[in-house]
Amino acid sequence: MANADVLDILSDAITPTNRGSANNDEIIRPKKNIRRPEGMKREVWSLIAQDDRESVPIVPIVTKSGGNSYAKWIKHSSMKVRSWQWTPFTNSARKYPFAKFNKHVDVIAYTDNEYEQYLQDKNWTPTETDLLFDLCRRFELKFLIIHDRLNNILYSDRSVEDLKETYYTICSTLEYIRTKRHIDKYNFDAAHERRRKEQLNKLLSRTKAEEEEELYLMNELKRIENERKERERII
């Protein structure tokens, strides 16, 4: 066996205790117990105050070797925990490009004095009229929705035409009282609207035989019209 092999075997056999006593700087000092700050939840403190060797951090971090990596942060955060509140804010980078097309309907309003003098109707109570205009503002003159909500609240059987007629009549009256002139946008013919819907219902409720008869009559009318034009062309 070579001398170098003998020296390697002997050096491995020497224990660390035989290599001398440790320096004062290498002595591991006991850690101080850091108290939980006032106002901090126990669960939060248990996550922050864990030693690096006992738990794995949630996110990758770079820590100092030996000791608690959060000790410095905990020392500076011994004061009372601040509370956070939701507050509105504006950010120019979050402007919606189509916000300019989001138009709102301005519903005319009346005072109690105007209602007592000009707007009373025997078919509508003041409470019903106020509710109608409140729903018109809330749903922006979408009368199908207003009709559903109003009838559910008052348990009435007013039609959509009744609601429109009352609304536009009041608006037209107020506009004339304030400006002494009529505005076309508040004109509404309730009778014409009722007749139009009645004819539409009749059209949609036709039977198959009625549709075939109507188609036959339309074809006969076209044939007669073509024969008349042909005779006029020959003459």
Residue 185: phi and psi, rounded to 5, are: -70, -15
pTM here? Answer: 0.53
pLDDT digits (tens), the chain, 235 positions: 556 565 666 655 555 555 445 455 555 566 666 777 888 888 888 777 765 445 555 666 655 555 555 555 655 556 677 788 889 888 777 778 887 888 888 999 999 999 999 999 999 999 999 999 999 999 999 999 999 999 888 878 899 999 999 999 999 999 999 988 887 888 999 999 999 999 999 999 999 999 999 999 999 999 999 999 998 888 7
pLDDT value of residue 47: 76
Per-residue confidence (pLDDT) for residue 184, from 0 to 100: 82
The pLDDT value recorded for residue 39 is 80
**Other CB atoms closer than 10 Å to residue 167's CB: what's the count?**
22
pLDDT at 42: 82
Please check whether residue 152 lies inside any domain of the structure.
yes
Establish if 168 belongs to a structural domain. yes
In a domain, 119, yes or no: yes
Q: How many angstroms separate the CA atoms of 75 and 87, rounded?
A: 30
The tally of domains found in the chain comes to: 1
| Size (the chain), residues | 235
In a 3-state reduction of DSSP, which class is residue 124? strand
Domain ranges, residue 149? 112-189
pLDDT at 53: 47
User: Residue 130: its pLDDT value, please?
Assistant: 95
- Measure the CA–CA gap between 164 and 172, rounded to whole angstroms: 12
Q: Is residue 89 part of a domain?
A: no
Burial of 58-96, coded b for 16+ CB within 10 Å and e otherwise, reads eeeeeeeeeebbbeeebeeeeeeeeeeeeeeeeeeeeee
Those residues with Cβ within 8 angstroms of residue 148's Cβ, 6 or more apart along the chain or in another chain = none
For residue 7, being part of any structural domain is answered with: no
Rounded CA-CA distance 83/117 in Å is 55
95 is a domain residue: no
Closest by CA position to 70, among listed 96, 100, 50, 98: 50
| 127 within a domain of the structure (yes/no) | yes
Q: What angle do CA 139, 176, 144 make, to 5 degrees?
A: 20
Both tokens of residue 106? 């301005």
Residue 2 lies in a domain: no
Helix 143-154 to helix 160-179 angle (10° resolution) is 110
Q: How far apart are CA 122 and CA 169, in angstroms?
A: 14
Looking at residue 31, what is its pLDDT? 61
Distance CA 47, CA 42 (A): 9
Residue 133 belongs to domain with CATH number: 1.10.10.60
pLDDT of residue 75: 58
Q: Which pLDDT does position 10 carry in this prediction? A: 61
CA distance 99 to 153: 33
